[in-house]
Amino acid sequence: MRPLILLLPLAACTHQSIVLDTGGGDSPGEDTQPVDTAPDSIPTVSSANCTVRNAGSPYGTEGRSLSVTYGCDEAPGAVLTVLNLPTGASFAANTLTWTPTLDQAGRYDLDLRAEIDGEQAIAAATVWVADGWDDPDNIEVDPLVYTEEFGVPVMNLEVPPGTNYTTDTAASLYWQGHQYAVGVQYRGASSSYYPKHSFVVAFSTDDEFDAPGWHHRRNINITSTFDDNAYLRQKTCYDLWTALSDTHPVFQTKMVALYLNNQYEGLQLITDHIDGEWEHDNGLNEAGNLYKAIDHSANLDVRFNGARKSSLHQGYEKKSGDPDDWTDLDDLVKFIATSDSPTFSADLDTWISRDDFMYWWVFVRFVDGADSAGKNSYLYHDPADATSIWRYAPWDFNDSMGQDWETIRVSADDSYDYSGNNKFFERALADPTMSADLTARMRAALDGPFAKDAILARLDDDYAEIDPEARRDWQKWKQQYDEYWGWRGDDLQDYDGEVAYLRAWVSDRWDYLDQVTGP
């Protein structure tokens, strides 16, 4: 078993502003780690600050050499020493040199002693050592102890043989030092063929999933990043939907380093699973009807591809409510598809949340999410409540932001308005008043939550958190990605190339929509 690691708040950046401390305190590295250098006492310090910079990456891997040189901006000539040097490491000329062994993965918060103006003080720096997954002699991580990797939280899922796409299989999930007894299924349609799987995880009612910033959850999704070399399309889309308005149902998201059966799997996204608890947290009745649009015939129309649909609810699955009663959804489709223009305009707000449905168009138009304009959506209604109106929530964005679900590139100046995917969009765009409302909402989004600088800053912040882990994931999956049979794009990029492409696409998409939307 690995030694216990004491985890402190994340500090993933390599530039750390440190306020000098007057006391030594406990060593924040591995608490069973021998300390090679430790003074008997720490002298009183001045009130000056020391900004510690490091040259060289503080992100290492078991079995590979690591070298980091530290310095103090305010006193470039200051001599630094480490008070809690990890076992096997050396420190000379302000440089930490270390080849961690195969049982030393973890976070190491180093106490640095700085000599400034003849006085001594304690500053700090962090070094991360990741599990050496590709070493044939690697030692498995302890899932209760190994809870952070390169500043990204670790989730460890024990998936037994027999795990499938249709029924829960008893499993264990380890998260931040806690073991959950869970049920697990694979999830996904096209992604079910990926070598890097997605999962739905179900928790017991008396031991629900808990994470900072999240409410308790009985179900979560773990979504594969195999189809996105930029790693952030799914997360960014969910976060943009949440930022777009404070009136519609929203989602929690978090990037994690996933381990399967104590073996490194890679960078994944965890999100809310749309279910009764999610409904409750968004102010909806858990007993209501929830419908999932599973293919493009879920277009809120009576026809699909020129032919009459087999039923008005063709293209949907019913996820909650009476499984045999589709009356409310059939009535909605009939109203949207067949009501005359005066009735449609006059009665619309008695049927739907106008904000949800209008922002649906703004959202998919901005991210250019062709699979999410009819398909890849949830509709909710409570037939027991006479005042209930239809609500919308999105899901699944591997087709977005410059690539489709098979990685074919989509231009940032794509002019498609999605009227062919969704009868509501068609009718709203054809109505002068509603069309003007759609344009006004797009303009407000472009000037507000979808502002170019805001989205690029969001991407930069997220990349600052995941970059070392994304590079580690790319090392693991690059060959399988390059060889995967399902891609049809002819411009496949590596991680750095795809990040640059995504940022450029967002900028160009904003410019295009800014131009066509007008002031």
Cα–Cα distance, 180 to 171 (Å, whole number): 8
* Spatial distance between the Cα atoms of 300 and 344, rounded to a whole number of angstroms: 14
* pTM beyond cutoff 0.85: yes
> CATH homologous superfamily for 15-130?
Immunoglobulins (2.60.40.10)
The domain limits of the chain are 15-130, 148-272, 284-517
Three state DSSP letters for 266-330: EEEEEEECCCHHHHHHCCCCCCCEEEEECCCCCCCCCEECCEECCCCCCCEEEEECCCCCCHHHH
Amino acid making up residue 497: G
Comparing CA positions, the residue from 59, 176, 64, 27 lying closest to residue 126 is 59
Rounded distance, CA 307 to CA 72, Å?
72
Question: Is residue 477 left, alpha or beta, with left meaning phi > 0 and alpha meaning psi from -120 to 50?
Answer: alpha
Q: How far apart are CA 471 and CA 475, in angstroms?
A: 6
Buried b / exposed e along 264-275 (16+ C-beta atoms within 10 A): bbbbbbbbbbbb
- Compute the Cα dihedral for 53, 56, 59, 65 and give only its sign: negative
DSSP, collapsed to helix, strand or coil, labels residue 53 as strand
Give the integer Cα–Cα distance in Å for 74 and 65.
29
Partners of 66 in the β-ladder: 98
Tokens representing 490?
A: 């002819």
Q: Which one-letter amino acid corresponds to residue 234? A: Q
- Residue 242 burial by Cβ neighbours in a 10 Å radius (0-12, 13-18, 19+): middle
Rounded CA-CA distance 115/298 in Å is 68
The sign one gets for the Cα dihedral 350, 351, 352, 354 is: negative
Predicted pLDDT at 50: 64
Mean pLDDT, consecutive 10-residue stretches, the chain (519 aa), reads 30 30 31 34 39 81 94 80 93 94 96 78 88 96 96 95 93 96 92 93 93 83 96 96 90 94 96 83 86 96 96 96 96 98 96 97 96 94 94 93 94 96 97 97 97 97 97 96 90 94 98 95
Alpha helices in 321-400 (DSSP H): 327-338, 341-351, 354-367
Residue 185 half-sphere exposure toward CB, CA atoms < 13 A:
12
- pLDDT digit string (tens) for 237-292? 999 999 999 888 888 899 999 999 999 999 999 998 888 778 878 888 888 999 99
In contact, 207 and 216? CB cutoff 8 Å: no
What the block records as the tokens of 279 is: 């409904």
What is the rounded distance in angstroms from the CA atom of residue 136 to the CA atom of residue 157? 21
Query: What's the Cα-to-Cα distance from 62 to each of 125, 265, 438, rounded to whole Å?
Result: 19, 16, 54
> What is the sign of the dihedral through the CA atoms of 158, 161, 164 and 168?
negative
Residue where the block lists tokens 């990605």: 481
**Running DSSP on this structure, what letter comes out for residue 472?**
H
3-class secondary-structure state, position 258 = strand
Beta strands in 382-453 (DSSP E): 391-394
